[in-house]
Amino acid sequence: MIPAREESVAIGAPPRRLDGRLALPASPRGGAVVCHPHPLYGGDMDNPVVLAAVDALARAGFATLRFDFGGVGRSQGEHGGGPDEVRDVLATVAELRARLGSDAPLVLAGYSFGAWAASTAAVDLPDVAHVVAIAPPLAFGDWAFLRTLRAPVTAIVGDRDQYCDVGRLRSLRKGMPVHVLRGADHFLAGRDDEIGAAVAAALG
C-alpha cells in the first residue's frame, strides 16, 4: 500500500538527480529512507516489499522517503556498481534532513541490494537511530562491516532465502534481532503484511 499524500521530490542535482516520493505527516516521530532492490534486476521504488516497509513506517509515524537509484525510472545517471548507489542514499538522507531538521531520528531501511546500500551508508552517518535490513544478500559482497556498525540493526529474512543464510546472518552481529519469516525465500512474495509487522516491531 502506498502512503496517502505522497509528493514527488527531486533529490540531488544533475547529472544524477534522483526521483523520490515523500510522505510527510504533520508531526513525524522521525524520518525514514527506504531503498529498493538491485537496479539491474528490475528493482525500483515501487517494489512491493519496499511499499510494505514504507507503509509500516508511515503508520508508525515516520516521514518516509523512497527513491529510485540512478538510472532507474526517472532518476538520472546509471548503475554505478555500488559506490554511486551508497552516495544516492546519502543524498536522499540529506534531502530528508532538509525537510525535517538535523535532530530528527533517522531510520534507514532497504530490501536486498537496498539493504546493503542502506547499511553501508549508515557507516558514514553517525546519528542513524536504526537500520532495518530486509533479506540482506550475504552471498554477495563483504558484510563484515555489520559487526562494527554503530547504529542498531534489525534483520528480516525468510528461512528459505537463497542468498541469506540465517545462521550466518546471526553470526555476523551477535545479539542482532532477526525476524525469520517461515517458508519465505529471498523474493518474499505475498509476505507484505508480515514484513510490515516486522518493520513496525523493530521500531517499537
Average pLDDT of span 173-197: 97
Label the pairing between strands 62-67 and 30-35: parallel
Beta bridge partners, 130, equal 107
Q: Is the pLDDT of residue 1 over 70?
A: no
Over residues 114-162, the pLDDT tens digits come to 999 999 999 999 899 999 999 999 999 899 999 989 999 999 999 999 9
CA distance 186 to 64: 24
Over residues 46-62, the pLDDT tens digits come to 999 999 999 999 999 99
CA distance 20 to 63: 13
Residues in the chain: 204
**What does pTM read for this prediction?**
0.96
- Share the mean pLDDT of the chain: 95
Class of domain 6-203: alpha beta
DSSP state of 137: -
Query: What are the strands of the beta sheet with 178-181, ordered from one edge?
Result: 6-11, 18-23, 62-67, 30-35, 106-111, 128-134, 153-158, 178-181
CA distance 137 to 91: 23
pLDDT for 136 equals 98
- The SS3 of residue 95 is helix
CA distance 75 to 15: 10
CA distance 65 to 32: 6
Q: Is the dihedral of CA 138, 143, 147, 150 positive or negative?
A: negative
